[in-house]
Amino acid sequence: MLPISLRQLQVFESVARHLNHSRAASELYLSQPAVSMQIKQAETAIGLPLFEQTGKKLHLTAAGSELLHYARSMLQLMQEMESVFDEMKGLERGHLNISVVSTANYFMPQLLAKFIQAHPKIQVSLSVANRDAVIRHLVENIADLAIMGQPPEGTDMRAEAFMENPLVVIAAPGHPLARTKKILPKQLANETFLLRELGSGTRGVAERYFASNKLVLPAHMEMDTNEAIKQSVQAGMGIGIISRHGIELELETRRLVVLDVDRFPIVRHWYIVQRKDKRPTTAAHEFERFLLEESQGVAR
């Protein structure tokens, strides 16, 4: 087996992530033929094909999937090494890849803007996705850290709470319960709930709330985004459970109201989640410290 270069690993990782030569070329500021050549050289070095084409779609082969695991680990180690040496030189620079669940994106840009202003030499990338995708970004070593409301189970991740996350019940302003005080759980039993998919944090809260009151989960519709829930609630299709941080604009414009439901709001927390086996870069450590200091102002 011929040696494979770090440059080839970098190009391969980008193509594997995008499953597209053109996007990888654009990301790496290379021509598409240069990307194709690097991939070909990597395949020659390994002696196995890394990608296969089905119609217009690119797929990783079994060898490609194996190489992706090692490529990400090696590239991450190189990034950590650069960060350590920069820190020894007294320089504050580096890359920070952050993955956040969609609801957290309502307050993260505000925090990120302040962080970037204070640390202009740190290059920050932000990815917004659902909880499963965010966890995958951590597992696959794509994200340095993640922000979510329900940390993954298991012992391979480290989670630290940094801000309260109050969950509330929302309805359209014209809903019959909009002006009712101290709504009891049994009064919600005949309502239609608009909920996120199984496994989501707010879905779990709804299930536990009704189970603790010896009630079955009311009739419900699944939505794949919080925006879909808000729009559907505004349209009068039902009521929903959502983070208070995600409805500021709708409350100000009176397109939604928070119902006065017994034992709500249910206060959970936002968490910073990182892999235990990954040494935090200087940038990641600095951002974590920043979040712990700044998040209380956002919460207020």
172 and 236 housed in the same domain? yes
Same domain, 170 and 257: yes
**Cβ neighbours of 151 (radius 10 Å):** 19
Q: Last residue of some domain: 72, 90, 115? A: 72
CATH of the domain at 26: 1.10.10.10
Taking only the tens place, the pLDDT of each residue in 168-213 is: 999 999 999 999 999 999 999 889 999 988 877 788 888 999 999 8
Structural domain count, the chain? 3
d(CA 206, CA 208): 6
Percent of the chain with pLDDT over 90: 49
Grouping H, G, I as helix, E, B as strand and the rest as coil, residue 128 is strand
- Res 1: pLDDT: 58
pLDDT at residue 36, rounded to an integer: 92
Quick check: is 1 in a domain? Answer: no
The per-residue pLDDT for 93 is 64
Q: Are 196 and 243 in contact (CB under 8 A)?
A: no
DSSP bridge partners of 268: 165
The length of the chain in residues reads 300
Please provide the DSSP assignment of 30-80 as one string. --HHHHHHHHHHHHHHHTS--EEEETTEEEE-HHHHHHHHHHHHHHHHHHH
- The reply to whether 159 and 184 lie within a common domain is no
Residue 76 pLDDT class (50, 70, 90 cuts): confident
**Residues 16, 30: one domain?**
yes
Among 72, 103, 129, residue at a domain's last position: 72
User: Per-residue pLDDT tens for 93-118?
Assistant: 678 899 998 888 888 888 899 999 98
Same structural domain, 87 and 152: yes
Q: Which domain holds residue 122?
A: 74-163+270-299
Q: Please tell me the distance from the alpha carbon of residue 214 to that of residue 112, in angstroms, as a whole number.
A: 42
Measured distance CA(221)–CA(183) in Å, rounded: 21
